[in-house]
């Protein structure tokens, strides 16, 4: 699903109005009716006080329409107009009149007003600012937002949490509503998925308001949200007359004394995701442990006992996964450098492989094109330098990926795969996966997918999604704390099956 910018959303808005021959207030009515239906289906007339805070633009207009509908259905409401500007939108004014026609008289809040009492048992509707926010809220509006945040009332934000801009980090972090739930119109917003801005969004849901499909289909975006519909077409089915050679030979290079487990995890996940053959290349100290832990894997060792040196393999691997647990010993660094120079096929580079590249940027020119780099945020910082915000981080990663023609997988709660100027935002995974070795598992999975013929970008997008899904399935048996990296591997098979599970409704429909 595409992630549109605020400007593009305004265009979608215009295009819908023109195409359907409707007025903008009709579109507002449609949007707010969705809000009302969502609330009404959950509250079913419950006697709770709903306090609506409405700005003076169209986000506020949505809030006023919702207030009118709640009032018509007998809910107890208090409407506050947050009077932060004289430039009231036409549809705000129209709906203010309609609300007054229904004998609801809003309380106007301005700089001098006392802040209204909010009980923790109230429901707050936050319709102060929407996607039109383009500067910091004034201090008194920020104080009101703080007051809402301090109330502990359930806070439902309309479209976006007020105070959260769509294309940058907030000017003043405390001047942003911390939403309990965000009902956003039709399209996901990038800020919901970034560490610095996602914290204002606890849970969110999209409400379809029937924006012009043609416009949405034909418009290119810089980001895409990756869910099941996006990954299913990437899947490469197993063929009946295939053999293990069909699915590639992966080489996993890694490990040092005390860090052989990382290679075990990566080889295990590489096999489990479907690589035809897997060979591990390790220092000698890892030989016995590796052969015992994963019998399906072939094992080669270098000449040294505790570290990797001279990486020589007597076959042409389809793909190489390299870097986990290798450390930065001088011999290892030169073996890594020589190996990069020699190999032309794309690799998956992780962990110390990335750290070596950060310390020896000269080696970057030898990284095969279309390789996949899988940094966590600290490794990314070493590679591309510090950033001042998540937005700058994404731009710098895009520039780096373009310069070296590589795919960058920025790991995190919402892992973002960067390639060719575009970012693919993952939707699976959970905090249970913040545990030792889960990155090694991901590295093995992406390698194993490339071995089977997935392109580098597809392997990254598909692998990240499947890894998160396996983690989500795993967590249902272990809970967050007890989830271990090996639990993720144990659930790769179920994750594949889950991809193809028919939703229950479809199953019923099909008898």
Ligand X SMILES: NC(=O)C1=CN([C@@H]2O[C@H](COP(=O)(O)OP(=O)(O)OC[C@H]3O[C@@H](n4cnc5c(N)ncnc54)[C@H](OP(=O)(O)O)[C@@H]3O)[C@@H](O)[C@H]2O)[C@@H](O)CC1
Q: Which residues bind ligand X (CB under 6 A)?
A: 9, 12-13, 27-28, 31, 55, 57-62, 84-85, 87, 89, 129-138, 158-159, 185, 209, 211
Annotated binding residue 102: no
Q: How far apart are CA 350 and CA 445, in angstroms?
A: 12
Annotated binding residue 359: no
Provide the β-strand partners of residue 61: none
Q: How far apart are CB 124 and ligand X at their closest, in Å?
A: 16
Q: Are the C-beta atoms of 142 and 178 separated by less than 8 Å?
A: no
Q: How far apart are CB 440 and ligand ADP at their closest, in Å?
A: 5
- Please report which helix (H) or strand (E) contains residue 505, including its range: helix 504-509
483 phi and psi angles, rounded to 5 deg: -65, 130
- Which residue in 12, 158, 418, 470 binds K ion (CB under 5 A)? 158
Residue 157 engages K ion in binding (rule: CB under 5 A)? yes
The three-point CA angle 166-172-175 to 5° equals 85
69 phi and psi angles, rounded to 5 deg: -70, -40
Residue 162 engages K ion in binding (rule: CB under 5 A)? yes
User: Three-state DSSP class for 154?
Assistant: strand
Q: How far apart are CB 443 and ligand ADP at their closest, in Å?
A: 8
Q: How far apart are CB 29 and ligand X at their closest, in Å?
A: 9
Q: How far apart are CB 37 and ligand ADP at their closest, in Å?
A: 32
Q: Are the C-beta atoms of 313 and 342 separated by less than 8 Å?
A: no
Q: How far apart are CA 13 and CA 124, in angstroms?
A: 26
Annotated binding residue 325: yes
Q: C-alpha distances in angstroms, 147 versus 118, 124, 175?
A: 8, 11, 10
Residue 199 engages ligand ADP in binding (rule: CB under 6 A)? no
Nearest CA among 96, 149, 104 for reference residue 124? 149
Annotated binding residue 221: no
Tell which positions 100-139 bind K ion, by CB under 5 A: 126
Q: How far apart are CA 107 and CA 271, in angstroms?
A: 64
Residue 256 engages K ion in binding (rule: CB under 5 A)? no
Q: Contact letters (x/-) for ligand ADP, 408-447, by CB under 6 A?
A: ---xxx-x-------------xxx-xx-xxxxx-x-----
Q: How far apart are CB 108 and ligand X at their closest, in Å?
A: 15
Q: How far apart are CA 364 and CA 357, in angstroms?
A: 6
Annotated binding residue 305: no
Provide the β-strand partners of residue 416: 410, 425
> Of ligand X, K ion, ligand ADP, none, which one does residue 136 interact with (CB within 5 to 8 Å by kind)?
ligand X
Annotated binding residue 440: yes
**Nearer to ligand X among residue 209 and residue 363 (C-beta):** 209
> Of ligand ADP, ligand X, K ion, none, which one does residue 442 interact with (CB within 5 to 8 Å by kind)?
ligand ADP
Q: How far apart are CA 357 and CA 365, in angstroms?
A: 10
Annotated binding residue 61: yes
Q: Are the C-beta atoms of 308 and 256 separated by less than 8 Å?
A: yes
Annotated binding residue 217: no
Q: How far apart are CA 440 and CA 418, in angstroms?
A: 19
Annotated binding residue 134: yes
Tell which positions 450-469 bind K ion, by CB under 5 A: none
Q: How far apart are CB 115 and ligand X at their closest, in Å?
A: 18
**Nearer to ligand ADP among residue 412 and residue 474 (C-beta):** 412
DSSP string, 424-449: EEE----GGG-STTHHHHHHHHHHHH
Q: Which residues of this chain interact with ligand ADP, rule CB under 6 A?
A: 376, 411-413, 415, 429-431, 433-434, 436-440, 442
Residues in the site for K ion, rule: CB under 5 A? 126, 157-158, 162
The binding site for (6S)-NADPHX consists of 58-62, 130-136, 159, 262, 325, 376, 440
């Amino acid at each position: 699903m595409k992630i549109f910018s605020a400007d593009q959303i305004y265009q979608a808005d215009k295009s819908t109005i023109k195409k359907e021959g409707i007025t903008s207030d009709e579109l507002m009515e449609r949007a707010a009716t969705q809000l009302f239906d969502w609330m009404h289906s959950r509250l079913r007339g419950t006697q709770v006080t709903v306090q609506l805070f409405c700005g003076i633009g169209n986000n506020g207009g949505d809030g006023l329409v919702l207030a009118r509908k709640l009032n018509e259905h007998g809910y107890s409401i208090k409407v506050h107009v947050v009077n932060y500007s004289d430039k009231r939108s036409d549809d705000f004014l129209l709906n203010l009149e309609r609300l007054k026609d229904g004998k609801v008289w809003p309380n106007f809040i301005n700089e001098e007003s006392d802040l209204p009492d909010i009980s923790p048992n109230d429901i707050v509707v936050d319709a102060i600012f929407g996607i039109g926010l383009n500067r910091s809220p004034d201090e008194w509006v920020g104080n009101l937002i703080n007051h809402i945040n301090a109330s502990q009332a359930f806070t439902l934000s309309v479209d976006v949490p007020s105070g959260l801009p769509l294309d940058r980090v907030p000017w003043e972090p405390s001047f942003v509503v911390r939403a309990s739930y965000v009902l956003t119109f039709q399209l996901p917003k990038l800020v919901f998925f970034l560490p610095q801005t996602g914290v204002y969004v606890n849970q969110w849901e999209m409400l379809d308001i029937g924006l012009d499909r043609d416009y949405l289909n034909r418009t290119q975006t810089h980001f895409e949200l990756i869910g099941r519909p996006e990954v299913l077409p990437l899947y490469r089915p197993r063929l009946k007359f295939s053999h293990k050679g069909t699915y590639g030979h992966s080489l996993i290079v890694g490990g040092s004394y005390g860090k052989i487990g990382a290679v075990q995890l990566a080889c295990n996940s590489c096999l489990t995701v479907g690589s035809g053959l897997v060979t591990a290349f390790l220092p000698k100290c890892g030989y016995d442990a590796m052969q015992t832990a994963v019998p399906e894997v072939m094992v080669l060792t270098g000449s040294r006992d505790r570290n990797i040196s001279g990486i020589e393999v007597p076959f042409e691997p389809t793909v190489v996964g390299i870097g986990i647990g290798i450390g930065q010993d001088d011999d290892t660094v030169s073996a890594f450098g020589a190996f990069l120079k020699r190999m032309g096929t794309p690799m998956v580079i992780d962990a110390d492989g990335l750290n070596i590249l950060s310390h020896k940027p000269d080696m970057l020119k030898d990284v095969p094109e279309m390789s996949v780099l899988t940094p966590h945020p600290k490794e990314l910082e070493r590679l591309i330098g510090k950033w001042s915000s998540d937005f700058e981080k994404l731009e710098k990663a895009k520039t780096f990926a373009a310069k070296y023609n590589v795919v960058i997988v920025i790991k995190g709660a919402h892992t973002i795969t960067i390639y060719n100027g575009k970012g693919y935002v993952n939707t699976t995974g959970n905090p249970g996966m913040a545990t030792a070795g889960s990155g090694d598992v991901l590295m093995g999975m992406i390698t194993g997918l490339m071995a089977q013929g997935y392109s580098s970008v597809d392997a990254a997008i598909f692998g990240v999604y499947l890894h998160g899904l396996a983690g989500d399935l795993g967590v249902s048996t272990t809970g967050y704390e007890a989830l271990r990296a090996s639990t993720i591997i144990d659930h790769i098979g179920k994750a594949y099956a889950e991809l193809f599970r028919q939703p229950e409704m479809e199953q019923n429909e099909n008898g």
